[in-house]
Homo-oligomer: A and B are copies of this chain.
Amino acid sequence: MIEIEATGRTTVLVCVTCRTPNDAPDAPRPGLLLAEATADAARDDSSIRVQRVQCLGNCSRGPSAAIRREQAWTYVFGGLDPLRDGPSLVTGARLLTSAVDGLMPWRGRPEPLKRGLIARIPPLDFRDDADVEPA
């Protein structure tokens, strides 16, 4: 069972509903396997919380997970491998925890969190950057 606390810890939200068209209706959901693998990988790290969520809306490109921290950007990932990417998500969570600018660095980011980026959302205190030239 995963502990729930209202803290500023980095959170990994794992969709437990995701499955592929080839999955048998009674087969374990890949998303559920990913949630368990992520919780296992984060078990000894009190800085990371793992939460299960029924749907992240990324149904066509699952399995899906999001990583977020207050006052940092939120990242949504898709196409994750339930048997391999739990530790990748925990690595990403640690990168976000240590990011002083609130952005998950590209350097050191596991490959599945590079090619699997679905979206990112700025923190609530984000300031309009209309005057900044696009990169």
Contact = CB atoms under 8 A, between A and B. Distances in A.
A132 B54 contact: yes
Contacts of A130: 1-2, 16, 35, 52
A129 to B, nearest CB: 6
Interface string A90-130: 00000000000000000000000000011111101111111
Contact of A119 (B17, B68, B70, B76): B76
Interface stretch (A40-48, A55-63, A80-88): A55-63
Contact of A121 (B54, B56, B70): B56
A4 interface: yes
Nearest to A35: B130
Contacts of A56: 119-121
Given A54-B135, A57-B75, A134-B16, A68 B128 contact: no
B120 A2 contact: no
A131 to B, nearest CB: 9
Contacts of A76: 57, 76, 118-119, 121
Interface in A1-60: 1-2, 4, 6, 13, 16-17, 29, 35, 51-58
